Structure 1
Amino acid sequence: MYTTKKPYLIDAIVGNSRFLASLGRTGRMYRLWWPHIDYPQHVDEIRGGLYIEGTSSGTTWFDGEEDGWRHEASYVPRTNMFKTTAVSERFPLSVDTVDYAVPGEDFVVRQYTFTNRGEAPVSFRFMYYSSFRSMETPFYHTTQFEEAHDSLMHLRHEYIFSVSSSNVCTGYQAGAGVWENAQSGHLNGNGIDMQPDGALCWHIEKLAPGAAVEVPVYIAAGQTRAASQQSLAKAKSQPHTYWYEFTESYWHRFLNDAVPAPGSRSDIREMYERSLLAMKLMSDEKSGSVVAAPEFDEQFSRCGGYSYCWGRDAAFITTALDRVGLTELSAKFYEWTLTAQDPDGSWQQRHYHDGRLAPSWGLQIDEGASIIWGMWQHYLQVQDEAFLQNVWPAVERGARFLTGYIDAETGLPACSMDLWEERFAEHTYSAGAVFGGLTAAASFAERLGQPELASGWSLAAERIRQSIGELCWNEEKGAFYRALKLAVPEAAYREAQQQGLRTSVSVNAKGYTTYFLEHDPIVDISLIGISVPFGVFPADDPRMVRTADTIEQYLTSPQVGGIKRYENDHYIGGNPWILTTLWLCHYRIHRGQYAEAKSLLQWAIDHRTAAGLLPEQVDKQTGETAWVVPLTWSHAMFILAVSLLAEHGQLD
Structure 2
Amino acid sequence: MKVGTQGRIIMARDIPVGNGTLLVNFDEDYCLRDLYFPSIGKENQTDGHKSRFGVWVDGAFSWVSREWNISFEYVEESLVTRVTASNEKLGVALVCNDLVDYAESMYIKRLILRNQADREREFRIFFNQDFNILGSSAANTAYYDPDEKAIIHYKERRYFLVTGMRNSVQGIDQYATGIKEFHGMQGTWMDAEDGILSGNPIAQGSVDSTLSFTVKVPPMGAGKIEYWICAGKNYDDVRRLNKMILGHGLEHFTQRTDNYWKAWVNKERTEFPELPDPVEKMYKKSLLIMQTNIDKGGAIIAGTDSDISRIFTQDTYAYMWPRDSAVTAYALDRAGYQALPRRFFEFCYGIITQGKESLGGYFLHKYNPDGSLGSSWQPWVSDNHKILPIQEDSTALVLWALWRHFDRYRNVEFVISLFEHLIMRCGDFLASYLDDATGLPLPSYDLWEEKWGIHTYTVSAIYGGIKAAERFAEFFREGRRKRIYERAAARVKAALEKYLYSREHRRFLKTINPVKDGSFERDLTVDASTYAPFYFGVYEPDDERVVNTMHAIIDTLWVKTPIGGLARYENDTYNFNGKNAGRAPGNPWFVCTLWLAQWYVAKAKNLQELHEADRILEWAAKRALPSGIMAEQIDPVTGQPLSVMPLTWSHATYLSAVLEYMEKERRLKETEVAYAESRR
TM over 0.5: yes
Question: Structure 2: how far apart are the matches of 1:256 and 1:72?
Answer: 25
**Does the 8 Å contact 1:165/1:217 carry over to 2?**
yes
Q: 1:261 to 1:41 in 2, by over 3 A?
A: farther
Match of 1:370, SS state, is: helix
2:279 corresponds to: 268
1:6 positional shift:
9.8
Aligned with residue 414 of structure 2, among 365, 372, 387: 387
2:553 corresponds to: 551
The answer to whether residue 256 in structure 2 is matched with residue 249 in structure 1 is: no
Match of 1:246, SS state, is: helix
The answer to whether residue 493 in structure 2 is matched with residue 459 in structure 1 is: no
Aligned with residue 410 of structure 1, among 433, 438, 449: 438
2:53 corresponds to: 48
1:16 corresponds to: 19
**Which residue identity lines up with residue 129 of structure 2 in the other structure?**
S
Question: Structure 1: how far apart are the matches of 2:620 and 2:371?
Answer: 32
Q: 1:277 to 1:320 in 2, by over 3 A?
A: same
**Does the 8 Å contact 2:602/2:664 carry over to 1?**
no
The answer to whether residue 652 in structure 2 is matched with residue 636 in structure 1 is: yes
The answer to whether residue 494 in structure 2 is matched with residue 438 in structure 1 is: no
**Does the 8 Å contact 1:406/1:413 carry over to 2?**
yes
The answer to whether residue 512 in structure 2 is matched with residue 484 in structure 1 is: yes
1:492 corresponds to: none
CA offset digits 1:372-421 (Å, max 9, x no partner): 11100100110111122011021111111112311223211111100000
Aligned with residue 328 of structure 1, among 336, 339, 344: 339
Question: Structure 1: how far apart are the matches of 2:246 and 2:56?
Answer: 26
Matches within 5 A, 1:490-505: 503-504=515-516
Q: 1:458 to 1:269 in 2, by over 3 A?
A: same
Match of 1:115, SS state, is: strand
**Which residue identity lines up with residue 550 of structure 1 in the other structure?**
A
Q: 1:446 to 1:258 in 2, by over 3 A?
A: same
- Equivalenced residue count is 614
1:250 positional shift:
0.7
Match of 1:11, SS state, is: strand
The answer to whether residue 174 in structure 2 is matched with residue 171 in structure 1 is: yes
1:626 positional shift:
2.2
Match of 1:187, SS state, is: coil
Question: Structure 2: how far apart are the matches of 1:261 and 1:42?
Answer: 40
Question: Structure 1: how far apart are the matches of 2:361 and 2:539?
Answer: 27
1:317 corresponds to: 328
**Does the 8 Å contact 1:482/1:521 carry over to 2?**
yes
2:191 corresponds to: 181
Question: Structure 2: how far apart are the matches of 1:261 and 1:313?
Answer: 27
Structure 2: tracts of 5 or more residues without a match = 1-7, 180-186, 379-388, 577-585, 670-680
Question: Structure 2: how far apart are the matches of 1:351 and 1:65?
Answer: 35
2:583 corresponds to: none
1:263 positional shift:
2.0
2:123 corresponds to: 124
Match of 2:395, SS state, is: helix
Question: Structure 2: how far apart are the matches of 1:111 and 1:26?
Answer: 18
CA offset digits 1:511-559 (Å, max 9, x no partner): xxxxx96222211111111211x11111122111111111111111111
Aligned with residue 540 of structure 2, among 538, 541, 547: 538
CA offset digits 1:212-252 (Å, max 9, x no partner): 22121111011112212222222222221111111110111
1:298 positional shift:
5.3
1:579 corresponds to: 591
**Does the 8 Å contact 1:22/1:29 carry over to 2?**
yes
The answer to whether residue 568 in structure 2 is matched with residue 565 in structure 1 is: yes
Superposition CA RMSD, Å: 2.0
The answer to whether residue 106 in structure 2 is matched with residue 103 in structure 1 is: no
Matches within 5 A, 1:163-242: 163-166=162-165, 167-176=170-179, 178-194=188-204, 195-204=206-215, 206-242=216-252
2:661 corresponds to: 645
**Does the 8 Å contact 2:142/2:177 carry over to 1?**
yes
1:299 corresponds to: 309
**Does the 8 Å contact 1:26/1:84 carry over to 2?**
no
CA offset digits 1:561-618 (Å, max 9, x no partner): 2111111111111211111111111112111142432222222122111212222112
Question: Structure 1: how far apart are the matches of 2:326 and 2:147?
Answer: 49
Question: Structure 2: how far apart are the matches of 1:22 and 1:517?
Answer: 47
Structure 1: tracts of 5 or more residues without a match = 487-502, 507-515
Question: Structure 2: how far apart are the matches of 1:646 and 1:189?
Answer: 59
Aligned with residue 617 of structure 1, among 626, 633, 658: 633
1:7 positional shift:
6.4
1:628 positional shift:
2.1
1:497 corresponds to: none
1:363 corresponds to: 390
Question: Structure 2: how far apart are the matches of 1:24 and 1:258?
Answer: 32
Question: Structure 2: how far apart are the matches of 1:7 and 1:157?
Answer: 34
**Which residue identity lines up with residue 107 of structure 2 in the other structure?**
V
Question: Structure 2: how far apart are the matches of 1:261 and 1:224?
Answer: 46
1:419 corresponds to: 447
**Does the 8 Å contact 2:73/2:82 carry over to 1?**
yes
Aligned with residue 471 of structure 1, among 468, 482, 499: 499
Match of 1:83, SS state, is: strand
**Which residue identity lines up with residue 262 of structure 1 in the other structure?**
F
1:109 positional shift:
0.2
**Does the 8 Å contact 2:140/2:207 carry over to 1?**
yes
Runs in 1 of length 4+ with deviation above 6 angstroms? none
**Does the 8 Å contact 2:305/2:646 carry over to 1?**
no
**Does the 8 Å contact 1:173/1:187 carry over to 2?**
yes
**Which residue identity lines up with residue 628 of structure 1 in the other structure?**
V
Question: Structure 1: how far apart are the matches of 2:66 and 2:566?
Answer: 35
What TM-score, normalized to structure 2? 0.87
**Which residue identity lines up with residue 64 of structure 1 in the other structure?**
S
